[in-house]
Amino acid sequence: MIVIPIHKTNEILSVASVFDKAKWFAFVKDNEIIVKEKETYSPLALKQWLLQNGVTVLIFRKITNLQYQMIKNEKDIQIFYTGYSRINLSDALIRYKNKELTKIDDNNYSSILHHF
């Protein structure tokens, strides 16, 4: 299951500018997109909510260091960065499918966090 924090503007879904502050999340499995409102604002509870929903891939534009540190320790979740610029949900999914997103780990996270 892929999860992407989103921003909703009318019918347009775009990747939220900051993972931690997103009100909505798109859960994607087998090309089906289900949008759910975030149930919590606690970083630990948010991580647990994602795990309970079967998330194995997280795609983001910006993420705080605290949330990254909590999620990276979950070995079953791969983390991908869309880039700093605004991107709509469908384009982010296409870039993921085409392996065009940057996979995040401790080796490259600090250089990406530096841009925030």
In tens, the pLDDT along 23-49 reads 999 999 998 999 999 888 788 888 899
Amino acid type, 13: L
Domains (ranges, CATH) in the chain? 2-113 (3.30.420.130)
In tens, the pLDDT along 86-102 reads 999 999 999 999 999 99
Looking at residue 79, its pLDDT comes to 94
Q: At what angle do helices 65-72 and 43-52 cross, to 10 degrees?
A: 40
Looking at residue 116, its pLDDT comes to 52
Looking at residue 114, its pLDDT comes to 60
Looking at residue 100, its pLDDT comes to 97
Q: Which two tokens stand for residue 95?
A: 């870039």
